[in-house]
Amino acid sequence: MTGLRGKTILITRQLEQSGDFVAEVERRGGRAIVVPMIRIADPDSWEDCDRALDRLSLYDAIVFTSINGVQKMLYRCEARGVAAQTLQRAEIYAVGRKTQQAIERAGLAVRFVPENYSGESLAKHFEGRDFARKRVLLPRGDRGREELATVLINLGASVHAVVVYKNVEPDLKNGDALWNHLAKGEIDVVTFASPSAAANFSRVIPAERFSSLSKKVLVGVIGPTTREAVARYGYHADIVGKEATIDGLIDAIVEHFES
C-alpha cells in the first residue's frame, strides 16, 4: 500500500476550503500544492437576498447546494439582524455532507441529503414528492446550474433563486508559476472540485497547452458534474471520485496509483 507517497497533488480549490484537502493528502504520504482557481466574493447586490430574508415566512423549503451558499446566507442573516433559526421555518435540504455540516453547525436541521452528493440526485428525490404550489428559496452562486430549479418548477413549485455569492476569476499572475511546476514534471495530478475551478483553470492553462506537457499529468475530479465540465474545456478526467466529496476524490486517486 503506497498511498500517495512520492506524488504531488495540485489543489485548485479556494484557499479557505483547502485545509482539509491538504491535510489528507499529506496524511497519505503525498505533497500538496495549492493554486486557487476560485475566489468567492459577495454578490454585486444583496437586494434580492434581502427581499427573501424579509419574506422568510412565505417559503416552504430552502435548498442549499454548496458550503459557500450556506456561509454567505448566514453572513447576510447576521448583517441584517435576522436570527439563523428563522430559516428553520422552512424545510431545509442540502447537497453534500459538508454543506449539511455547515447548516447543522448553525443549529439548523436538514430534512434530506441525497446519498449521491449532487444536485441531480436531489432533483430525483424531489420528483417523488408533491411540490405543487410550494415556494422554494434557492440561495446559490452566480454560476449556479439550472437543472434543480427546472425540476422544481416542472413539479409546480415557485422557485426563488437568489445569488448570495459570485465566483471571481483567479489572479492570472499564478499562471506562470503553475506552468513551471507542470513543465518541470513536478505535479502528478491536477484536481478539480467544481466546474468553476475547471473553467478558470482553462483560462490560465488552456487544454491545448496542457496536452503539450512532456510528462503525462492526470486530471482528477470530484464527481460526474465536474467531469462533464472538464470535458467541455477540452481536458480528460482520468480519475473520478466514486463519492462526490474530497475524501472520495482522494480515495480514487490512491486507488488509481495502487492499482
In the predicted model, is pLDDT for residue 1 greater than 60? no
Q: pLDDT at position 175, please?
A: 81
Confidence (pLDDT) at 130: 80
Residue 255 has pLDDT above 70, yes or no: yes
Residue 216 has what pLDDT? 94
Look at the block and give the residue holding cell 480514487.
Answer: 252
- Assess contact for 136 and 126: CB atoms under 8 A: no
Q: Where are the domains of the chain?
A: 8-38+170-258, 41-167
Q: What is the mean pLDDT of residues 24-37?
A: 95
237: Cβ contacts below 8 Å, ≥ 6 apart:
219, 220, 221, 226, 227, 230, 231
How far apart are the C-alpha atoms of 240 and 257, rounded to whole Å?
13
What average pLDDT does the chain have? 91
> Helices (DSSP H) in 155-194: which residue ranges?
174-183
Q: For residue range 141-155, what is the model confidence (pLDDT) as tens digits?
A: 998 778 888 888 988
Is pLDDT above 60 for 117? no
Q: Which three cell numbers stand for residue 209?
A: 497547452
Worst-scoring range by mean pLDDT, 77-86, 100-109, 140-149, 224-233? 140-149
Which residues have CB under 8 Å from 244's CB, separation 6+? 96, 116, 117, 118, 222, 223, 224, 225
Q: Distance between CA 246 and CA 191 in Å, rounded?
A: 10
Count CB atoms within 10 A of the CB of residue 15. Answer: 12
The CATH label, of 3.40.50.10090, 3.20.20.70, 3.40.50.11810, 3.30.160.270, for the domain at 41-167 is 3.40.50.10090
Average pLDDT over residues 133-138: 94
The mean pLDDT value for 185-207 works out to 94
Question: Does position 240 have pLDDT exceeding 80, yes or no?
Answer: yes
The reply to whether 41-167 shares the fold of 8-38+170-258 is: yes
Report how far residue 214's alpha carbon sits from residue 208's, in angstroms, rounded to the nearest whole number: 13
Bigger pLDDT: 168 or 63?
Answer: 63
**Cell numbers representing residue 213 in the block:** 506537457
The CATH fold of domain 8-38+170-258: Rossmann fold (3.40.50)
pLDDT of 118: 63
Q: Which residues neighbour 140 within 8 Å (Cβ) at sequence distance 6 or greater?
A: 65, 66, 69, 161, 162, 163, 164
Q: Which residue has the higher pLDDT, 26 or 116?
A: 26
**Which SS3 state, helix, strand or coil, does residue 234 take?**
coil
d(CA 45, CA 48): 7
Give pLDDT tens digits for 174-185.
688 899 999 999
> Residue 102 has which C-alpha cell?
455547515
Angle at 141 between CA 38 and CA 133, to 5 degrees: 160
Confidence (pLDDT) at 19: 92
pLDDT in tens, 213-225: 989 999 999 988 8
